Structure 1
Amino acid sequence: MDFHFEQLRAFVAAVDHGTFESAARELMVTPSAISQRIKALEQSVGRVLLLRTKPITITASGEIVLRLGRAVHLLGHDAALELHADDALTPSTPAVIPIVVNADSLATWLLPVLADIAAQESIVFDLAREDQDHSTDLLRAGSVMAAVTSNAEPVQGCTVRPLGRMRYRPIAAPAFATRWFEDGATAQALTAAPVVVFDRKDDLQDAYLRRRGVDPADPPRHHVPASADFATAVGLGLGWGMLPDAQSDAPLRRGELVVLDETGGVDVPLFWQQWRLHSRLLELVTTAVVDAARSTLH
């Protein structure tokens, strides 16, 4: 079967933007042109790649073609840079590298790394936020090219490199600790004290409670689904929560937070998974991320 660049480009744009109309605006063509290119691609492949819902739903066959479309885009950009290396010209459209990352890495150490790269290269990042235990699902689907994940088992077609460990400890505001934990982080206190949870996938607090013999369903819980706001909520006394050292060290030194249980820390190992693709830009990103993580994480 033959794959045509414009068909792949239309397909990727439709998946990323969710509708043919939005994809058409991105590529400056008509929605009809997007529809015709994707229909021709499906006829060439002999499979249905998209369900025409709103937003568009990608099929299992479509996930395979999506990975191909993203790879072709990135390799084409690499080739254009090499071809124009001598005359200082760069491609008019920057390379797009989609990455999935856990919220705490995004809020602490990762963004400065990506900003440094973007300041020097013709590149833009399409960041997806996902819990580190679930991020490899997006790699399998072809939605992203790389992931910061807690999964050391490589997704098919990917390589894995260790980044280090994010250390989390049960933290609270001093006044909150005085009110709820007068006798320390006992099972009785943990059963009654409100807890702050990131979202329904966040198991850090529940895992700590289980280790202390407490049913996670017992304490009242607040859901605060943003890393910086989560730390703010803990600092304001909304509840206690498991905070990474990168967020808690400074306020702990200032006396704005306290550690509830010095033995209750947990290390979450993080890994960088990326497509096994020989791309200069992707390797540049990988090297920078791995180097920064190893100098920042435990």
Structure 2
Amino acid sequence: MMANLPLDQVRTLLAVADEGTFDAAAGLLHVTPSAVSQRVKALEQRTGSVLVTRTKPVRLTESGQVVVRFARRITALERDARAELGMAGAGEPVRVSIAVNADSLATWLLPALARVPADPPVCFELHREDQEHTTALLREGTVMAAVTSSATPVQGCSVRRLGNLRYLAAAMPAFVARWLTGTLLDDLTRAPVVVFDRRDDLQDAFVRSLGGHRASELRHYVPASEAFAESVAAGLGWGMVPEEQALPRLRAGELVSFAPDRPVDVPLYWQQWKLDSPALSTVAEAIAATAATSLRSAAS
């Protein structure tokens, strides 16, 4: 089927998906919004499927996600071919889009990307998402790779184990003295808790590991990794803090690990398209090398 898809129509759909509206895609492609609409409609007729919902921003249907994944692969392969052939424009940066969870982004991922050689140039487009949901962006064709907690490869992707991101149950010393004075399980069902967002299950999972159901309903939602750790250190509540962020605060006395024998290890994996792309391979190697020294191994 894909061999019969006109590439100008495929690239137009990709522009619509990336820009979010037909008007913005038209500006990017230097054509009229009417031309964009006609190309997308022609592509839908050719595939026999509705590819986008005409909302603002537009949303891809499942069929649209298939075509956009194809478009991104074609774009990446075209760049690599131009580079190998020494064609004009071959030196333009390759964009590598990555979905990553906030805690990895705040701790070990940026040093990994800094290890990627500057030549040939690579531009990164990072999409922050919970590690349990980053694979959804792979399925949609939004990203080429993802740091994820899922070991099951998305269709058309390879998977590599990176290591474990360790979290420590921590709180401010004064908070511990006030709230955690009895049985830990009972205390945590009453004590204020800091939660990243409504998808964050780490704190509730920790309480379940103690035999409970969930943490207290006294919840503060702080959807930024560094601000989350700062909120716990400020005494808003207890929380599961990434080890790398917790250790300096533990040494400084700003935090107490009140359950040091119960760390929570979240396994992380690297999933990427099965694509013979030198840029993507280089990024993957830098990610794996940094993860090997920054994350916990499965045995540790």
Q: Same fold (TM over 0.5)?
A: yes
| 2:253 is the counterpart of 1:255 | yes
| 2:183 is the counterpart of 1:181 | no
Question: Counterpart in 2 of 1:290?
Answer: 288
Give matches, 1:11-30, under 5 Å: 11-30=13-32
2:117 and 2:14 mapped to 1: Cα distance? Answer: 22
1:36-91 deviation digits (Å, cap 9, x = unpaired): 22223223323221122221121111111011000011111111211228xxx653
Question: Counterpart in 1 of 2:147?
Answer: 148
Alpha-carbon deviation of 1:197?
A: 0.5
Q: Is the 8 A contact 2:193 2:216 kept in 1?
A: no
Q: 1:7 aligned to 6, 9, 19, which one?
A: 9
1:30 and 1:232 mapped to 2: Cα distance? Answer: 48
Equivalent pairs counted in the alignment come to 294
Structure 2 counterpart SS, 1:126: strand
Question: Counterpart in 2 of 1:162?
Answer: 161
Give the CA RMSD over aligned residues.
1.9
Say if 1:259 and 1:217 are closer, same or farther in 2 by CA, change over 3 A.
closer
2:294 and 2:31 mapped to 1: Cα distance? Answer: 45
1:89-138 deviation digits (Å, cap 9, x = unpaired): 65375322221111100111112222443743332222211111122122
1:92 and 1:281 mapped to 2: Cα distance? Answer: 12
1:165 and 1:287 mapped to 2: Cα distance? Answer: 17
Structure 2 counterpart SS, 1:117: coil
Q: 2:64 aligned to 57, 62, 65, which one?
A: 62
2:99 and 2:291 mapped to 1: Cα distance? Answer: 15
Question: Counterpart in 1 of 2:234?
Answer: 236
Moved more, 127-136 or 160-169: 127-136
Give matches, 1:73-222, under 5 Å: 73-84=75-86, 90-91=89-90, 93-117=92-116, 119-183=118-182, 186-216=184-214, 218-222=216-220
Moved more, 32-41 or 285-294: 32-41
2:252 and 2:216 mapped to 1: Cα distance? Answer: 32
1:186 and 1:48 mapped to 2: Cα distance? Answer: 53
Alpha-carbon deviation of 1:4?
A: 3.0
Q: 2:47 aligned to 45, 48, 60, which one?
A: 45
1:113 and 1:6 mapped to 2: Cα distance? Answer: 35
2:40 and 2:219 mapped to 1: Cα distance? Answer: 46
Identical-pair percentage? 52
Amino acid at match of 1:50: V
1:138 and 1:194 mapped to 2: Cα distance? Answer: 33
Say if 1:46 and 1:281 are closer, same or farther in 2 by CA, change over 3 A.
same
Amino acid at match of 1:66: V
Say if 1:117 and 1:160 are closer, same or farther in 2 by CA, change over 3 A.
same
Structure 2 counterpart SS, 1:270: strand
TM-score normalised according to structure 2 size: 0.92
Q: Is the 8 A contact 2:137 2:143 kept in 1?
A: yes
Q: Is the 8 A contact 1:190 1:219 kept in 2?
A: no
2:157 and 2:32 mapped to 1: Cα distance? Answer: 36
Q: Which runs of 5+ in 1 are unaligned?
A: none
